[in-house]
Amino acid sequence: MKLIFAGTPEIAAVALRRLCAVHEVALVVTREDAPVGRKRVITPSPVAQAADDLGLKTIKCNRLSPEIVQEISKTQADLGIVIAFGALIPKSALSAMSWWNLHFSLLPAWRGAAPLQYSMMNLGDGAGISLFELEEGLDTGPIIAQLAMEIDPDKTYGEHLATFTDKGIDLILESLAKRPQASTQRGAASLAPKLSRDNARLDLKQSADLVAAKVMALNPEPVAWATLGNEPFRVLRAKSLGSTNWAELDGVSPEPGRVSMGTGRIVLECGGGTRVELITVQPAGKKEMSAGDWFRGLNKEVILD
């Protein structure tokens, strides 16, 4: 089958390489070269680099102009595949051909830019993969195929993303072979807008399950944080110690935000007397480190806010 491929980050580059092994990719569309790293070096997107390695014709753009839509139409491709392109596919392009989009939730749950992260923060609600046909609405198009997935509380968003990507590419390849009948989305919709640093602040009055889920969902970006002595304190990995009211069992007053050493673990008190084990942290002005190394350097209980 002759395809147009639109995507930008590494997960899309992985998909492009696998699709090229089975189908003809007539044209790749990706975002323009952008500054990367602390030195802000202008760098092609991972998809642009993969397309160059594969010898594929590529258009770099931050929006699909009428001229680019015309170039797409000239290819006479059968279908467009979109994976994290980072820009809207305009009505003119949607009218020219069908486009399938890979989305990391069970639509209509978590429509928007960060579906997998919202699934993780909500303890696996709506976790899965949807392949759907693009239309003008935000992630509202007919479903081509779906696959429910499990969230592992010990894995970060970055680690889940690799797994979801592999399964998603499998779903695309199976659907291209079988061309299943599309079906209307059913159920209650929820939204997953892009996450900012402000969204990443931890609410330590929440239960340990929710605090730990947020930590893991926001690694590697934008990274969960609280404050310690009016300085930002990042938490990169954490593990819930369950729904037990540990404060009641220990006979102490619960104090969300208190960090102490407990049975060889660095524990953070959360809402309802529940506790989280801190695993990897990054104090202000320092590199990330194990919570044990950080706490031994302090050698005293502290309060995160």
Domain annotation covers residue 12:
yes
How many C-beta atoms lie closer than 10 Å to residue 216's C-beta? 28
Domain annotation covers residue 187:
no
User: pLDDT digit string (tens) for 76-104?
Assistant: 999 999 999 999 999 999 999 999 999 99
Domain annotation covers residue 97:
yes
Co-location of 143 and 249 in the same domain: no
Co-location of 91 and 52 in the same domain: yes
Among the candidates 149, 178, 207, a domain finishes at 178
* Mean predicted lDDT score pLDDT of the chain: 96
User: pLDDT digit string (tens) for 226-238?
Assistant: 999 999 999 999 9
Contacts (Cβ under 8 Å, ≥6 apart) of 26: 2, 3, 4, 57, 75, 76, 77
Co-location of 206 and 294 in the same domain: yes
How many C-beta atoms lie closer than 10 Å to residue 94's C-beta? 18
At 263 the pLDDT is 80
Strand, coil or helix: what is 189? Answer: coil
Q: Per-residue pLDDT for 272 more than 90?
A: yes
User: pLDDT digit string (tens) for 106-116?
Assistant: 999 999 999 99
Residue 146, domain CATH = 3.40.50.170
Rg, Å, the chain Cα set:
22
Calculate ∠ Cα 32-37-41, nearest 5°. Answer: 55
Number of structural domains found in the chain? 2
User: pLDDT digit string (tens) for 47-56?
Assistant: 999 999 999 9
Domain annotation covers residue 193:
no
pTM of the model: 0.95
Co-location of 150 and 285 in the same domain: no
User: pLDDT digit string (tens) for 55-69?
Assistant: 999 999 999 999 999
Q: What is the DSSP string of 200-232?
A: GB--TTS-HHHHHHHHHHTTTTT-EEEEETTEE
Q: Per-residue pLDDT for 167 more than 90?
A: yes
Co-location of 206 and 157 in the same domain: no
From the number of C-beta atoms within 10 Å of its C-beta (0-12, 13-18, 19+), residue 304 rates as buried
Co-location of 31 and 135 in the same domain: yes
Domain assignment of residue 19, given as a range: 2-178
Among the candidates 122, 147, 178, a domain finishes at 178
Co-location of 91 and 157 in the same domain: yes
User: pLDDT digit string (tens) for 205-222?
Assistant: 999 999 999 999 999 999
Residue 220, domain CATH = 3.10.25.10
Q: Where are the alpha helices (DSSP H) in the chain?
A: 10-20, 46-54, 66-74, 91-96, 115-121, 157-178, 208-217, 246-250, 291-298
Q: Per-residue pLDDT for 299 more than 80?
A: no
Q: Per-residue pLDDT for 37 more than 90?
A: no
Q: Torsion-angle region of residue 16: left (phi > 0), alpha (psi -120 to 50) or beta?
A: alpha
Q: Per-residue pLDDT for 36 more than 90?
A: no
Co-location of 117 and 44 in the same domain: yes
Residue with tokens 């680690």: 159
Co-location of 105 and 220 in the same domain: no
At 43 the pLDDT is 96
